[in-house]
Chains A and B, each alone.
Chain A
């Protein structure tokens, strides 16, 4: 796989002045690619706070052919963690290193902002049981198609991401997922977070007492 992305493309940083035009193009590109549907506010969540970590690939007709959306924030009061949240490249442009180039731009921008680590996280737009805490880190082992899946995993692993843990059948079709993480500086593993570094959500087993007297809504499901 060549690292040199085609020269007929321009790579630009997202510009909030062109929100309407860019967001419409991004939505079109991403909704084609990913199974998770995103509302306008999902884009706003990322772009209003981390627009400078969003990069676009435009063709010679100024049409968007690729996009990466990311964010960067302290992870539970601990390390400054970057997330690759969405990544899409128009089908006919795939296999030309565009995605790799976009991810590299995002990571480089994060490094400039002193990121400690990067994590690949596909946005989950809505969750069955929560109205609020809906963004969950996942990279599918099997994306919509086998091919895109392996391609995505390979892309990140080539860049040095490691599978830090496996997530059991996250997707309702039964597919499992991996959390992919890349450390960018030494000592990240020892940075203390405000609560447990491993769980999402923190998951202690219930106490014996809880087992014998389970609360009415044991798993806190909505509605």
Chain B
């Protein structure tokens, strides 16, 4: 051991060679400490007990990673007598390769290296002492005399570590949550980052060539080893590509990985595990401020499945690299990231970088253009505001110069938060919701700022006032309208992702679905308002442009915007109607005391306190204002409505919902651009999108059935008195269970109670 310990010992301390002689103070210290009272502490004034909570207790087996149990042989506890130069059978080599792949994937899944790859004695020996050349990166100073070990297994390990290096670099440079998504800690090791990838490809080629001519190894084992080496080659090439895919648009490496993964799956049984080549003892040597933790064992099939998904996600991600307008782009990003299971942290990091790098979207569109495209799509098709340019207008007195200045200011202020709304979808699902809870407050302020700009622009562009819905004359407020739209989407997502993350108690469901429909109807009126002003602007354009030329030029922009507004409206109507139906259904269940409740009769909480807690993200929002509790309670319980009225409401709403979801599905995932037809449709992502809508439609059908069941129980043949309990059994399925068709739509499972059962209850 420690062949090069001048390297191993951090240069900062060399205990034995320390010049100053330490003074033994054991007696004084012990004497002084014994004078303290129980509970009396002597401590650094700036050091708090709160900080002390983080201290690891030495000699405690659960906390001290260097702890060696009494009776354990000291040398054995620290060192493994595993001989890394030993001969291995081909079966063992296959087994080791597969075990290492499991550890690699476990790390991808978020487990630390100390519990995964760094428990491999082979990997440990490769990385420590730090190799200076690629030839130095060996299992031992004296190379193994067996090529299967010294060439094949070593090369496999090297290429694996190098792939980890690329993954580590990508993830660490993006936004992610340490420990939640990924553990970047390297424990003072280096993942061969200084070596150029060409070394690894060369070694892989050598190893494959060697394997190919080994007549002594059974053919199927040769093939198994060969495909594992080739997988390493392709995976290394795939992650080596990184952002270059924007230029190369090559999915070849990932596609090849899928092929080899198939072979790996088929030949997995050939391997013989070598458990003694992995050791938890290695943790005792890693620079680490964590308690000792067990080796993570994941099933090989899970590891292969994870890698397969990673490759597939990477391939599918490429379908969205062509920019086809902001709404299509956002739909593609959101759909891909909503896959279950969620794409791995590597894919999410890569996608973050692809979304924005070098101030461009997808390496093609400036952030400013992206913002302008979105404004054009929603509120400003063909507007002077988006065409004004300070470069072209030189006279500062020209109103267009002022417009350009204001728009410049708008871009500066809004580009970042707007791009972040897209990028934040790359976070893990829990964080997506939490991030929106933060940013929605920012958007509330942004909307107010946009309103200021709108007022200035309004006078500069001499926009005529318009009567909206018979009210007072008003103006279009395009920028703040756009900001409000963003905010309403976020408020809706907070509620919907709450279902997905399973945060609501059953008794909250009526209220949450009511609130969801409330947000939807607010959103629908807002879209209505936008449409009214766009129609008016189009009319003005037609009248003013007698030349006809400009009008024809503007027409596609209007067309696209109207189409987009139409699609949005249909989609939100679908959500709204479904929410109304479920709200009505849950109100009936709650009213008749068959809705399960998480809170007990002696709970400390009250409806009002629960409402306040649940709606906390909505409280600071000025528009739409949080519905006051009293009003919410009246609305959410449908106070005053008879059962029959509510049933009718539920039935009508669910019929409406089914129609609207049909229409949404028919509209498709993406807006087709008539001016530039799609280059390459995002087939796989569109398929995900369609599945999502279809699942929602299945949930609609499930809800219809539930409503019918309740109707039968309430208005059945035998007349029932008010006091009779409903003979219904209600069960709220878990998220992700088979009976829950869609994460955002909690449909209760309702069945009739058997008479005998009802009697006993």
Are A41's CB and B55's CB within 8 A?
yes
Are A166's CB and B501's CB within 8 A?
yes
Are A211's CB and B356's CB within 8 A?
yes
Question: Is the CB of A223 closer than 8 A to any CB of chain B?
Answer: yes
- The answer to whether residues A135 and B50 also contact, given A168-B180, A188-B612 and a CB cut-off of 8 A, is yes
Q: Chain A contacts of B289 at CB under 8 A?
A: 126, 128, 131, 222-223
Cβ-defined partner of A125 (8 Å) among B54, B172, B183, B505? B54
Chain A interface residue count, Cβ-Cβ cutoff 8 angstroms: 76
Which residue from chain A places its CB closest to the CB of B417 in the assembled complex?
Answer: A205
Are B358's CB and A39's CB within 8 A?
no
Which residues 648-664 of B have a CB within 8 angstroms of A?
none
Interface string of B27-60 (1 = CB under 8 A from A): 0000000000011010000000111111111001
Q: How far is the CB of A41 from chain B (nearest CB, A)?
A: 4
Are B610's CB and A165's CB within 8 A?
no
Are A166's CB and B503's CB within 8 A?
yes
Are B112's CB and A172's CB within 8 A?
yes
Could you tell me the distance between the alpha carbons of A196 and B437 in the complex, rounded to whole angstroms? 10
Which residues 406-443 of B have a CB within 8 angstroms of A?
415-416, 419-420, 423-424, 428-431, 433-435, 437-438
Are A126's CB and B112's CB within 8 A?
no
Cβ-defined partner of A189 (8 Å) among B175, B438, B612? B612
Interface-located stretch among A5-13, A43-51, A54-62: A43-51
Q: How far is the CB of B303 from chain A (nearest CB, A)?
A: 14
Q: Chain A contacts of B536 at CB under 8 A?
A: none
Q: How far is the CB of A103 from chain B (nearest CB, A)?
A: 10
Are B612's CB and A128's CB within 8 A?
no
Could you tell me the distance between the alpha carbons of A128 and B112 in the complex, rounded to whole angstroms? 10
Question: Is the CB of A42 closer than 8 A to any CB of chain B?
Answer: yes
Could you tell me the distance between the alpha carbons of A134 and B49 in the complex, rounded to whole angstroms? 11
Interface string of B129-173 (1 = CB under 8 A from A): 000000000000000000000000000000000000000000011
Are B55's CB and A126's CB within 8 A?
yes
Are A221's CB and B434's CB within 8 A?
no
Cβ-defined partner of B49 (8 Å) among A44, A158, A190, A223? A44
Could you tell me the distance between the alpha carbons of A182 and B610 in the complex, rounded to whole angstroms? 8
Are A129's CB and B178's CB within 8 A?
yes
Are A162's CB and B614's CB within 8 A?
yes
Interface-located stretch among B12-20, B308-316, B597-605, B707-715: B597-605
Q: Chain A contacts of B609 at CB under 8 A?
A: 160, 182-186, 188
Quick one: which of B56, B180, B293, B430 has the most chain A CB within 10 A? B430
Question: Is the CB of A145 closer than 8 A to any CB of chain B?
Answer: no
Are A208's CB and B419's CB within 8 A?
yes
- The answer to whether residues A172 and B431 also contact, given A190-B619, A205-B175 and a CB cut-off of 8 A, is no
Q: Chain A contacts of B178 at CB under 8 A?
A: 128-129, 219, 221
Q: Chain A contacts of B505 at CB under 8 A?
A: 157, 162-163
The tally of CB-CB contacts under 8 A between chains A and B is 229
Are A20's CB and B430's CB within 8 A?
no
Interface string of A35-79 (1 = CB under 8 A from B): 001011110110011000000000000000000000000000000
- The answer to whether residues A48 and B49 also contact, given A165-B503, A208-B356 and a CB cut-off of 8 A, is yes
Question: Is the CB of B248 closer than 8 A to any CB of chain A?
Answer: no
Cβ-defined partner of B53 (8 Å) among A3, A31, A125, A211? A125
Question: Is the CB of A170 closer than 8 A to any CB of chain B?
Answer: yes
Question: Is the CB of B109 closer than 8 A to any CB of chain A?
Answer: yes
Could you tell me the distance between the alpha carbons of A223 and B419 in the complex, rounded to whole angstroms? 34
Cβ-defined partner of B613 (8 Å) among A37, A183, A203? A183
Q: How far is the CB of B524 from chain A (nearest CB, A)?
A: 27
Q: How far is the CB of B445 from chain A (nearest CB, A)?
A: 13
Are A189's CB and B615's CB within 8 A?
yes
Could you tell me the distance between the alpha carbons of A189 and B57 in the complex, rounded to whole angstroms? 38
Quick one: which of A174, A211, A214 has the most chain B CB within 10 A? A211
Which residues 90-124 of A have a CB within 8 angstroms of B?
107, 117, 123
Cβ-defined partner of B54 (8 Å) among A131, A157, A161, A178? A131
Q: Chain A contacts of B437 at CB under 8 A?
A: 198
Interface string of B63-102 (1 = CB under 8 A from A): 1000000000000000000000000000000000000000
Question: Is the CB of B752 closer than 8 A to any CB of chain A?
Answer: no
Are A176's CB and B430's CB within 8 A?
yes
Question: Is the CB of B616 closer than 8 A to any CB of chain A?
Answer: yes
Quick one: which of A168, A176, A181 has the most chain B CB within 10 A? A168
Are A162's CB and B605's CB within 8 A?
yes
Which residues 133-163 of A have a CB within 8 angstroms of B?
133-135, 154, 157-163
Could you tell me the distance between the alpha carbons of A202 and B33 in the complex, rounded to whole angstroms? 41
Question: Is the CB of A80 closer than 8 A to any CB of chain B?
Answer: no
- The answer to whether residues A39 and B57 also contact, given A208-B359, A219-B184 and a CB cut-off of 8 A, is yes
Q: Chain B contacts of A184 at CB under 8 A?
A: 604, 609
Quick one: which of B55, B293, B367, B423 has the most chain A CB within 10 A? B55
Cβ-defined partner of A174 (8 Å) among B109, B177, B415? B109
Q: Chain B contacts of A181 at CB under 8 A?
A: 613
Which residues 285-312 of B have a CB within 8 angstroms of A?
287-291, 293, 296
Could you tell me the distance between the alpha carbons of A97 and B431 in the complex, rounded to whole angstroms? 35
Cβ-defined partner of B183 (8 Å) among A128, A132, A178, A223? A128
Are A16's CB and B39's CB within 8 A?
yes
Could you tell me the distance between the alpha carbons of A40 and B430 in the complex, rounded to whole angstroms? 33
Could you tell me the distance between the alpha carbons of A41 and B63 in the complex, rounded to whole angstroms? 13
Are A162's CB and B610's CB within 8 A?
yes
- The answer to whether residues A165 and B290 also contact, given A126-B54, A170-B179 and a CB cut-off of 8 A, is no
Q: How far is the CB of A93 from chain B (nearest CB, A)?
A: 21
Are A45's CB and B52's CB within 8 A?
yes
Quick one: which of B185, B358, B613, B615 has the most chain A CB within 10 A? B613
Could you tell me the distance between the alpha carbons of A163 and B293 in the complex, rounded to whole angstroms? 29
Are A197's CB and B616's CB within 8 A?
yes
28 cross-chain CB contacts under 8 A: A39-B56, A40-B57, A41-B55, A42-B52, A45-B49, A45-B52, A126-B289, A126-B291, A128-B289, A132-B51, A133-B54, A162-B613, A164-B616, A165-B430, A165-B433, A165-B501, A169-B428, A182-B613, A189-B612, A203-B431, A205-B175, A205-B423, A208-B367, A208-B416, A212-B359, A218-B172, A223-B185, A223-B288
A residues neighboring B (CB under 8 Å): 3, 16, 19-20, 31, 37, 39-42, 44-45, 48-49, 107, 117, 123, 125-135, 154, 157-170, 172-174, 176, 178, 181-190, 196-199, 203-208, 211-212, 214, 218-219, 221-223
B residues neighboring A (CB under 8 Å): 38-39, 41, 49-57, 60, 62-63, 109-112, 115, 172-181, 183-185, 187-188, 287-291, 293, 296, 356-359, 367, 415-416, 419-420, 423-424, 428-431, 433-435, 437-438, 501-505, 508, 598-600, 602-605, 608-610, 612-617, 619-620
Closest 9 CB pairs of A and B: A160-B605, A160-B603, A134-B54, A37-B62, A158-B600, A41-B52, A39-B57, A157-B598, A168-B430
